Amino acid sequence: MDLYLAPFDVLGNLAHATMLETIGLLSSDELRVLSEELKYIHRQIEAGEFVIEDGVEDVHSQVELMLTRKLGDVGKKIHSGRSRNDQVLVDLKLFTRDRLWQVTEAVRQVFDRLIARSEQHKTDLLPGYTHLQIAMPSSFGLWFGAYAEALADDMLLLQTAYRFANRNPLGSGAGYGSSFPLNRTLTTELLGFEGMHINVVYAQMSRGKTEQTALTALAAVAATLSRMAMDICLYNSQNFGFLTLPDALTTGSSIMPHKKNPDVAELLRAKTNRLKALPMEVTLVMSNLPSGYHRDMQILKEILMPAFEELLDCLEITDFMLENIQVKPNLMDDPKYDLMFSVERVNALVLEGVPFREAYLMVKTEVEEGTYKASRELHHTHEGSLGNLGNDQIVKYMDANLQGFGAEKVAKAVERLLAKAL
């Protein structure tokens, strides 16, 4: 798991070394050679050539060992004013911030796909259900658009998790600060953090809380995808028959030659449902822990880190599936859906001046006596309805939520920090 942290450990070292030079614990020459070597290690990591050697405890020890081998005593100076506790914590903050942004970009891609499909099929009607009973006319435009808006809501949770991860714990040491005159504001700026965890005790208490907040955001996205996957499984079945999946996303049966099972959608449903459990795992690991660092927290890595890769895979296959789903047109022409237009009949009577309750009873009587005749003329004009999807407003909502991340500032800070190592 520590290999996930390697590039972020280098970033933390670069910021910390830069700060140490400003308070006189490193000379300018020492900072220069440390920065050059850290940049070289970063290139090794990016090339996949970095390893944690046998007998070396963790990524932090490996980086420091490499610096010491190359630079001697200069490499040993870099840990001044720092504990393993705030070192791993800043690495985890940087890792989580980075992966949350990757998830955010992948969510936006799926969102854009949903909006495009919604516009493409805004006039293709789809049966709407409540209690799994036919209810009222819907459309594929509404269905695709509903999940787009769900992801726009999920983006608020991702933003919250991102901003929580985007706070600097460096300088909190083992949770009680340092007698060195550390400049925590400087490391906050160098690493592109939005702000710092000010109280050094609380900085350490954010371990676990950061992971839980991030996983809660991932679980929200996973919940949206799992519900969509369930719809796809239903709508693909013969009894519904609303859409078809390409052969690449289905499998056959070993005994029934007609079968095309929606295995990808089913696995997507299972994987995302499993992701929904992860925030509770963190809650249980952290239960009843007092303040300060405890080794229990190491377990959090194996809960948090693979979750990002799992959700990113799920988002990728969701986008592919949405791109290739084929919608069946003219579904609602079938007489079995006549009753779905009963509300339209009620509303037509209301517009003629009949009180709603009386109109409702009139149509109910028509249905029971077999005299009801469906009219498939629809006049839905209000915001978010069949005839007025409001996708432009949903896009604006998503764009506004994305602006709250501050990711551009982070990218520029990381770019500048790595450039300092030249």
CA atoms within 13 A on the CB side of 13: 35
Tokens 């050697």 map to which residue? 53
Find out whether 374 and 84 touch, Cβ atoms under 8 Å.
no
Cα(105)–Cα(98) distance, integer angstroms: 11
The pair phi, psi for residue 47, each rounded to 5°, is: -85, 0
Instruction: Give the angle subtended at the CA of 43 by the CAs of 39 and 49, to the nearest 5°.
Output: 130
Q: Which of 131, 254, 258, 287 is catalytic?
A: 131
The DSSP annotation for 89-147 comes to HHHHHHHHHHHHHHHHHHHHHHHHHHHHHHHHTTTSEEEEEETTEEEEEEEHHHHHHHH
Cα(215)–Cα(280) distance, integer angstroms: 9
Q: Which of 27, 237, 253, 375 is catalytic?
A: 253
Please indicate whether residue 253 is annotated as part of the active site. Answer: yes
What pairs with residue 54 in β-bridges? Answer: none
Find out whether 42 and 421 touch, Cβ atoms under 8 Å.
yes
Taking CA atoms, 183 is separated from 9, 15, 21, 186, 189, in Å, by 19, 11, 10, 6, 10
The pair phi, psi for residue 129, each rounded to 5°, is: -125, 145
Residue 255 is classified by DSSP as: S
The DSSP annotation for 178-214 comes to -SS---HHHHHHHTT-SEE--SHHHHHHHHHHHHHHH
Residue 226 is classified by DSSP as: H
Residue 229 CB contacts under 8 Å (≥ 6 apart), including other chains: 265, 266, 268, 269, 272, 318
- Catalytically active residues are 131, 253
